[in-house]
Each structure stands twice: as C-alpha cells, then as structure tokens.
Amino acid sequence: MTAPLISFKDFSFQYNSQTEPTLRHLNLDIYPGEKVLIAGPSGSGKSTLGRCLNGLIPQSYPGKLTGQAVINGHDISHSSIFELSMDVGTVLQDPDSQFVGLTVVEDMAFSLENDQQTQPAMQQATAKWAQTLDLNQLLTHRPQELSGGQKQRVSMAGVLIDNSKILLFDEPLASLDPASGKASMALIDQLTHTEDLTVVIIEHRIEDVLQQPIDRLIVMQDGAIVANDRPETILRQSLMAQLGLREPLYLSALKLAGVDLDDCTHLDSLAALTVPNLTTTLQQWTAGVTLNTPTVHADPLLQITDLNFGYSPDKPIIKDLSVTLNRGEMISLVGQNGTGKSTLSNLITGFLTPQSGALTFNGKSLADQSVKERADHIGYILQDPNQMLSKTLIYDEVAAGLTLRGVAADEIEERVLATLKVCGLYEFRHWPISALSFGQKKRVTIAAILVLRPEMIILDEPTAGQDLQHYTEMMNFLTQLNRDQAITIMLITHDMHLMLEYTDRTIVLGGGNILMDAAPADVLTNETIIDQASLAKTSLYTLAEQHQLNPTEFVAKFVQAEREAR
Amino acid sequence: MNNQLLIGYDDRHTFLNRLSGSTKLLCFVGLSIIGMMTYDTRYLIGIMIFSLIVFHFSKIKYRDVKFVVNVIIGFSVLNLVMVYVFAPHYGVSIYGTEHLLLGSANHYFNLTTEQLFYEFNLLLKYTFAVPLALIFLMTTNPSEFAASLNKIGISYRVSYSVAIALRYIPDVQNDYRTISLAQQARGFEMSKKANFMTRIRGGVQILLPLIFSSLDRIEVISQAMELRRFGKGKKRTWYMAQKFQRNDYLALAIVALLIIIGIALFKVNGGRFWNPFKI
C-alpha cells in the first residue's frame, strides 16, 4: 500500500483572531493520484483546510495549531509557503485578482522568475504548457482581456509550470459560465491522468464537479469532517440536504419519482446510472403530474424599444434590442460572459447612456431621468456588496437613501426598521457592517434598496458565493417580495438551478440581442440555445432523454413539484 | 473601454523600442542629472537638440502626448513666473553684472538681462528633459519596466510594486466608476447639478468602499504572489528582461560621452555656470 501524499492526524487549527477553533480534530489521508472533492457550507472550514494545504496557514494566517499535517513529507508547521508551493499548486477562486504578470506568458513564468531560472529555461517551460493548455494564441494578451475559461487555463498554467504534483482548486466554478465550467472540469480530469496529478477541489456545486469522475467526496461541517467516502456512497445515504449541500438534480428527480436509491448503482454518474425499471417509473410519474397553468403577467412595467449601445460604433454590445418586462414577473437574464448582461442593466439604471432607443417605465420615458431619479423606481444590486456599502453601521446604511431624499426623521425610522425586519436584519441593526458575512452584507444592500420602495429590482448574481442554506433563504426572501409586494425582479445569473427553480421567464442574451425569451424549462431543453449562450444541459434533460420522455415537459413538471414541496 | 494610461506604451518599431529598458532608463537618468546640474547654455542647447532629434526618431505622435505636454508647459511657465516673483535678482547675483532692461536698480521688480538669461537656462532644462522622459515611458514595454528598475539596482520588491501599481490603475478606475454610480443610485447627487461641497462629500462616500475593495485586492494578490514564491530569494530573473546588445552599448557610450563633455565644461567654466557677461 502506498503512503498517503497528504496526511492530517488529529489536526486542529484556531485563527488568532477567532475565539473558537475553525478546524477540529481532522483525520484525513489523500493518496497519490486521487481526485478529491471537499464540500461543505460556508463557514464549515473547507477554505481553511485549503489554506493548510498550501501553507498560507500558519505562515500568512497565524493561529494555534495542534496535531499533525504532513504534505509530501513536509510538516506544515515547519515548512515555508515557498517550500510547500513546490508540492502544491493553488488556483485561487477569482482568476482576475491573482494575475501578476502584465501578459499571459509573463504570468505563466512568474514562479520561475522567482526561482531565478534562466530565460531559455523559462521560454521552454512556457512553450510546453502553452501547448498543453492551448494558450499559444494568447501569450501576448493581457490576462484581463480573456474569457473566464481562458483565464482559468492561464492560472492553471502558472502553477502547473512548477511541476508540483498536487493541484488545489478553490471554488474553480465560481466565476465561470456553465459551459466553461464543464470544459474546465473535463480539462482537470484529463490533466489528472496525463500529468499524474493529485487533485483537491474545494467547491460546493457538487453536481457540476461530478460531471467528471471523483474518487472521494469529503464533506465538512463546523470544522469537522462529517463524511469521507466514495461519492456514490454519500449520495445514496441522502446526506446532502442535511449537510446543507445541494444534491444533484437527477437525484432529486429520482426521489420525486419514488425510486429507492438502494436499488441503484453508479449513483454518482448519470451516464452509468442503472436502476431497474427506471423508464417505466419515470414515465408513470410524469403522467401523474398535471402542469398548472402559469400565472399571466400582462401589465407592462418596463418597455425597451430598439436599444443600441457600444463603446465604439463598430463594436455594438447591444443591437436593436426590444423587450417588455411586466409587473410582478420574476425574470432571469442569462448568457455568456461579456455578452452584455451587465451593460443592459446599466442602460436601464442610467449608469450608461444608449446611442439610440427608448426606455419607458410605467408609461413614462426614462431618457431625461438621472441615475438618482431612476433609482426611485428601479433598484440595482451589484454583485459585490462591498462596492455599495459606504456606512459603518447597518441602520445608517439602510437609512442613507431616505436621508438623502429628505424624508422626515420619524418616517425614516419607521421605514428602515420595517425593512430590516423584512430582510431578517432587525436584530443586527446596531451592528457594524464589517462584522457581517458576505451573504449578510448582500442582504443589507438589498434592504438599502428596498427601503426606497422600488417597483423593480435588478440583482447581479444574487447567490454567488453562498451555500445552499443562505441561497435558499435569499431566494425565498426574494420570492416573497415578488409575490407579496408585486415587485418585479430580474436576476442576472449563471446558475441554472436558480433560473429553473425560482424564475418564471428567462431572457437569453447573445450577440447583442435576445436569443430566446421563454419559460426556463423551454430554454434549458433547447440545444441550440444552450450552445449559443454557453449554458449547459442539466442532468434532468439528460435523464429525460435517456428514458424517452419529453424533456421540456419533464423539466417543467419537476420544477413544479419541487416548488410545491418548498 | 479606454484602458490606456495617461501615457501609453506602443510598439512603434523603432530602434528606440528595441533598446533594452535598462539602457533607456540609465540614459534618461544620466542625461537628466547632468542637465539639471549644468547651467552651460551651449551645452543645454546641444542636448536639447539631441533629445528633440531622438524624439523625432521615436515616431511618437504629438497628439498622443498633447495633454501631458500641455500640462508640463503650464507648470513650467508657472514655475518661471514664480522664480521671477520670488527672486527677480537671482540672475544678477549669479553672473555678477547687472544690465537693466526695465525699471530702475532700486526697484524690487526690475528686469535684467542676467535674470532673463538665467530663466532661459531653466526653460532649456525643462524642454530637454520632457522629450527624454516621454521617450522612456512610451517606448519601454511596461513588462520590462520593473526589470529595468531592478537592473539599475532598485530592489525587485520595490520594482515589482511599481509595476503592479501601474497594472491596477485601470481596475481601480473601474471600481471608482461603479461605486460612484452605485452611490448616485442611492441618492448622492454627484453630477454637475450639485454644488461643489455636496460633490466633495459624495467623493468621500466613495472613498471608503474604494479603499476596502482595494485592500481586498491587495490581500488576494499578495497571497497569490506568495503562493508562487515571490520573495523567496534575494534576486529574481525576468522573463521580459532584454540582454544588452550592440546598440545598447552604443547608446550608453554616446550618453557617457555627453555626460563627460558636461563635466569637462564644469572645469572649463570654473563652475556650473557659463557666464557670457564676464568678458
């Protein structure tokens, strides 16, 4: 039996700034050649575990460390980050923020420069990895100009160039569109074999990672490992939901149809999944569900006609775009990275001015309204809450918009407190914003917009970086706003779960115009659109196809059943 | 979006582009120092013509640098005026003679040939250095910038932080824009409609989130750099560094010669000043 490459023995770690240990008594062995997925809700300690693997703990994040952690023969408490970086290559979550070089090739060579290698040696190494990762055409580009998938390949090249045998990915899917995410997972799998790597992936989007085989799934909760086994075994036990993780969609579908998971084999891979009589079971289930007639929203709120925009005339970003959003709708806006989703919302909110075209809100033209005036009706919530928060206390932050609009003091208090209650922030009202988690901050920004009583809210990636529990809370909250206060909500997202399960209408942007405008189930079962807009087939679609069901009908019925169960 | 900095590098395919960054930096620094020290008008005119000729060969278009040049001219004129306002007799005290052009000798504000001549020397100093600085900035690949700083003896950590700061300028500008608009949407009137004080206060509102988001960036980038062993050794190599070639040695030799002439003139003139009044 081979010795483990990574070995944690009764390992605990407590940050100096925290009163409780973040990791408790971990015992974990990872063997050479394994591909391991570490999953867990926010605050479960999975990122901390990642930092122990690459040496940021205890070097950059000092703290109290007990037990033993050995990586490729190096005890982490006695090794420098530099030593460990020869064993473990780390690809951080946000590729944009980790590029050091001004061009792709320099970024690839960065660690070799630090090792004081000669120029010919560096040229040879960069040429080799540019070939392997298909970056030859991009070497002289600025990394910032690349697409999400290309950026990730550059980051990977920058660490693979060290020939380290362990590769650590911190949420590799977070900033990729579904199609690039899929490609990225396939590439990682391929490299695992060709380069003889041991791969550790930290990610909470389990279904997307499981598109490629994973040897072991490690689930963390409250700083401890609560499951450590083959993915199939863990999936079979239906532990996911209890542990605050989302189980793959096809699995939920199997359960809905009443399939006993004990009868199934290859639960972790849809392609290999075998269940006795599955076709019949699914067909019976589908026949047994009748689709409700969808609620019709026919009161136009925002009308966009022939909108045109581009930074330079020869490269239009939005081209003759026309669409009508109705009051009370819950809409998802999807499309490839850089296809103009954010540009469209910036045009609606007045952050950008269109070259031509008309925007009418509630029958009134928006053209002569300033950013501030539009904001009275249309709230825009940026992806990064840190870009919106400017006060130190939550109460002040939420009150800011009203104060600036000259609302009377007692009315401000009443409205702020009411909004804080709706957003579940009432208990925190005297807290400093800096003490909040990312998800809570996001909620403060929503509260700060909501207090202005907008008729429409646009949210950019509302659930990014949030685990299932916070995700569900956030989305239930938005659904409630949409239903009870008839606020029109438009979500810009890459998350196909989100569009499928929470929105009624999906607008697919591509090439400056609308590629498709239909129910989410129709969009996600249209192969041409999936391809054009860099979406990906969901496992539901594949499942339906495998068993001779009408995919659109099956997906729609599944979504309906899920919503009813919620 | 316009991601170009105020002054932008572009490969203009001239011999100046092919010189190594270190050569250009050394030449620029060397000539600037000697030019700032000497007040020999003949010499200053000489290197000014030299720098203008080189500037012509660099193929830098005037419209690319119009803004920067105008700013520099503005400041130079202001500077010359201020020199006159604060020391209208400085020329007289340097050159030892007094040739009155305007006013009388007892007045504070009079005009002498000596003062004009002295300020003319100052003007020459500004004009010769500006084209050289522009040449250095606009023909040196930003990637080579850090490498050349490092080569002339500045520690690579400092060199790299300069390079990184340059690289982050567009990102921070974008952040600023987004934050500013988000604040406007909340109700801070930042457009020209609002009065000056309101806009200043609005600016402060943007500063806080901008600082926080920049601090986040710094934390991530420094981790990313550490994870790729930045700071491990006393030295590092540079992928983009250029080896010295014949032209580099040639350029350095020419500049060295110019500097030696400058120093020799100190001896000839018996000091930093060339005095045409003393006959």
Q: pLDDT, tens digit, for every residue of A226-254?
A: 999 999 999 988 888 788 888 899 999 99
Give the chain A residue nearest B225 (alpha carbons).
A100
Give me the half-sphere count of Cα atoms (radius 13 Å) on the Cβ side of residue A278: 24
Q: Is the pLDDT of residue A485 over 80?
A: yes
pLDDT at B190: 66
Looking at the complex, does the CB of residue A111 fall below 8 Å from at least one CB of chain B? Answer: yes
Residues in chain A closer than 8 A to B232 (CB atoms)? 82, 114-115
What sign does the CA torsion over A40, A44, A47, A52 have?
negative
Looking at the complex, does the CB of residue B56 fall below 8 Å from at least one CB of chain A? Answer: no
Residues in chain B: 279
Looking at the complex, does the CB of residue A71 fall below 8 Å from at least one CB of chain B? Answer: no
To the nearest whole number, what is the mean pLDDT of chain A?
89
pLDDT at A202: 94
- The answer to whether the CB atoms of B228 and A384 lie below 8 A apart is no
- B35-39 long-range contacts (CB < 8 A, ≥24 apart) are B35/B125, B35/B128, B35/B129, B35/B262, B36/B125, B36/B129, B37/B262, B37/B272, B38/B262, B38/B265, B38/B266, B38/B272, B39/B94, B39/B118, B39/B121, B39/B272, B39/B273, B39/B274
- The answer to whether the CB atoms of B236 and A386 lie below 8 A apart is no
Output DSSP code: residue A294: P
- What would the pLDDT profile of B38-70 be if each residue is shown by its tens digit? 999 999 999 999 999 999 988 888 887 888 888
Looking at the complex, does the CB of residue A60 fall below 8 Å from at least one CB of chain B? Answer: yes
Looking at the partner chain, which of A81, A144, A386 has a beta carbon nearest the beta carbon of B213?
Answer: A386
State mean pLDDT over A434-455.
86
Q: Is the pLDDT of residue B3 over 50?
A: no
Token couple for A63: 């703290």
Listed residue (A449, A447, A457, A384) closest to A419, CA to CA: A447
Residues in chain B closer than 8 A to A370 (CB atoms)? 184, 189, 191, 193
Q: What is the CA angle A477-A327-A372, rounded to 5?
A: 80
- The answer to whether the CB atoms of A389 and B209 lie below 8 A apart is yes
Q: Is the pLDDT of residue B133 over 60?
A: yes
Q: Give the CATH number of domain A6-247.
A: 3.40.50.300
- What would the pLDDT profile of A202-229 be if each residue is shown by its tens digit? 998 888 999 899 999 999 998 999 999 9
Query: In this structure, are strands A356-361 and A364-365 parallel, antiparallel, or unpaired?
Result: antiparallel
Domain residue extents for chain A:
6-247, 249-294+520-566
Residue type, A227: A
- Beta-bridge partner residues of A201: A37, A169
pLDDT at A1: 59
A388, A409 in Cβ contact below 8 A? no
Q: Is the pLDDT of residue A372 over 70?
A: yes
State mean pLDDT over A91-99.
82
Q: Is A330 helix (H, G, I), strand (E, B) or coil?
A: strand
> How many other C-beta atoms are found inside a 10 Å radius of the C-beta of residue B202?
20
State mean pLDDT over A281-305.
90
Which of residues A12 and A437 earns the better pLDDT score?
A12
Q: For chains A and B, count residue pairs whose Cβ atoms are closer than 8 Å.
A: 147
pLDDT at B160: 87
pLDDT at A122: 94
Token couple for A365: 């033209």
Give the chain B residue nearest A310 (alpha carbons).
B1
Token couple for B63: 């419209």
Looking at the partner chain, which of B185, B220, B229 has a beta carbon nearest the beta carbon of A115?
Answer: B229
Looking at the partner chain, which of A111, A371, A379 has a beta carbon nearest the beta carbon of B181?
Answer: A371
Q: What is the 3-state secondary structure (H, E, C) of A60-111?
A: CCCEEEEEEEEECCEECCCCCHHHHHHHEEEECCCHHHHCCCCCHHHHHHHH
Confidence of residue B5 (pLDDT cuts 50, 70, 90): very low
Residue A419 makes CB contacts below 8 A (sequence gap 6+) with A398, A447, A450, A451
State mean pLDDT over B235-239.
89
State mean pLDDT over A256-262.
88
pLDDT at A71: 93
Residue type, B185: A
Residues in chain A closer than 8 A to B142 (CB atoms)? 102
Q: Could you tell me how far CA A390 lies from the centroid of its own chain?
A: 25
Looking at the partner chain, which of A56, A102, A162 has a beta carbon nearest the beta carbon of B143?
Answer: A102
Q: Is A491 helix (H, G, I), strand (E, B) or coil?
A: strand
Percent of chain A with pLDDT over 70: 100
Residues in chain B closer than 8 A to A59 (CB atoms)? 226
**A72-81, A231-240, B136-145, range with the lowest pLDDT:** B136-145
Best of A76, A80, A97 to disrupt the B interface (most B CBs within 10 Å) is A97
- What would the pLDDT profile of A504-550 be if each residue is shown by its tens digit? 999 999 888 999 999 999 999 999 999 999 888 889 999 999 999 99
Residues 124-163 of chain B with CB under 8 A from chain A are 142-143, 163
- What would the pLDDT profile of A410-434 be if each residue is shown by its tens digit? 999 999 999 898 888 888 888 888 8
Looking at the partner chain, which of B189, B216, B230 has a beta carbon nearest the beta carbon of A386?
Answer: B216
A456, A378 in Cβ contact below 8 A? yes
Q: What is the 3-state secondary structure (H, E, C) of B108-152?
A: CCCEEHHHHHHHHHHHHHHHHHHHHHHHHHHHCCHHHHHHHHHHC
Q: Could you tell me how far CA B34 lies from the centroid of its own chain?
A: 16
A360, A366 in Cβ contact below 8 A? yes
Name the packing angle between helices A438-450 and A394-404 (round to 10°).
20
How far apart CA B11 and CA B18 sit, in angstroms, is 9
Residue type, B206: I
Listed residue (A2, A33, A34, A71) closest to A216, CA to CA: A34
pLDDT at B2: 37
Best of B151, B229, B235 to disrupt the A interface (most A CBs within 10 Å) is B229
pLDDT at B8: 64
pLDDT at B1: 32
Looking at the complex, does the CB of residue A299 fall below 8 Å from at least one CB of chain B? Answer: no
Q: Is the pLDDT of residue A469 over 90?
A: no
Tell me the nearest-neighbour CA distance from A542 into chain B, angstroms: 39
pLDDT at B6: 43
Q: Is the pLDDT of residue B191 over 70?
A: no
Residues in chain B closer than 8 A to A390 (CB atoms)? 183, 205-206, 208-209
pLDDT at A440: 82
The secondary element (H helix, E strand) that includes residue A347 is: helix A341-349
Looking at the complex, does the CB of residue A129 fall below 8 Å from at least one CB of chain B? Answer: no
Looking at the complex, does the CB of residue A117 fall below 8 Å from at least one CB of chain B? Answer: yes
